[in-house]
Amino acid sequence: MTTNRAIVYGGKGALGSKCVQYFKAKGWWVASIDIVANEEASANVLVKLSESFTEQAGQVTADVALLLGDQKVDAILCVAGGWAGGNCSSKDLYKNTDMMWKQSVWTSTISSHLASVHLQPGGLLTLSGAKASLGGTSGMVGYGMAKAAVHQLCQSLAGEGSGLPTGAVAVATLPVTLDTPMNRKFMPDADFSSWTPLEYIAETFFNWATGVDRPASGCLVQLLTNAGKTEAVPTQ
């Protein structure tokens, strides 16, 4: 029997760990790409921290090629990312913008190239956008710019001649707030019923990976949670 395969970029983070768990429980082989190993994953590619994008991208690309050889994967889930605030007068503007770019744009760009080489025809690539970046983000400019760039990349990948395999689909998810332990720690008084559960996202990714309710390529899918119920709503 052929084993289904997935790569989770950011596989040791809260959402990444949930995706590794979920796909493994369904019998998939799952590789994690992150700065630290995920012991639950079938295999790990460790990212070496670098100030050079070309250096980091080259290292990850080479290590994934070494791991996979000529074997293809059915899904690449890029769930790496982070959050930092600050407007244009913030003393941390440069530092935070640099960090957001590394966490969101570097990882998404690398994931798109990995998909061009290692994704099966008809496979799935997911990228992590943000609902906030559909408009201005005056209090978190670095974050807003980085996520908007991810949206643009997703739409570019849907175009003819994008480099993705035949029939492959690129979809960006646009959540508001994810229900993670870290978010609960820093926002203890928030309304958790409006936060999107990680299990919902992992299950949605699995459905899309297996062809169930899969959006069209280039779709920016908002994840809207209200009173504990989440809907995936494509951006018009």
Q: Which residues are known to be catalytic?
A: 143
Helix 141-157 and helix 107-118, axial crossing angle in degrees, nearest 10: 20
The set of residues, in sequence order, having a beta carbon less than 8 Å from that of 1 and lying 6+ positions away, is none
CA dihedral sign, ordered 144, 97, 183, 155: positive
The set of residues, in sequence order, having a beta carbon less than 8 Å from that of 126 and lying 6+ positions away, is 75, 76, 77, 78, 79, 170, 171, 172, 173, 205, 208
Count CA atoms within 13 Å of residue 173 on its CB side.
Answer: 28
Helix (H) or strand (E) holding 215: none
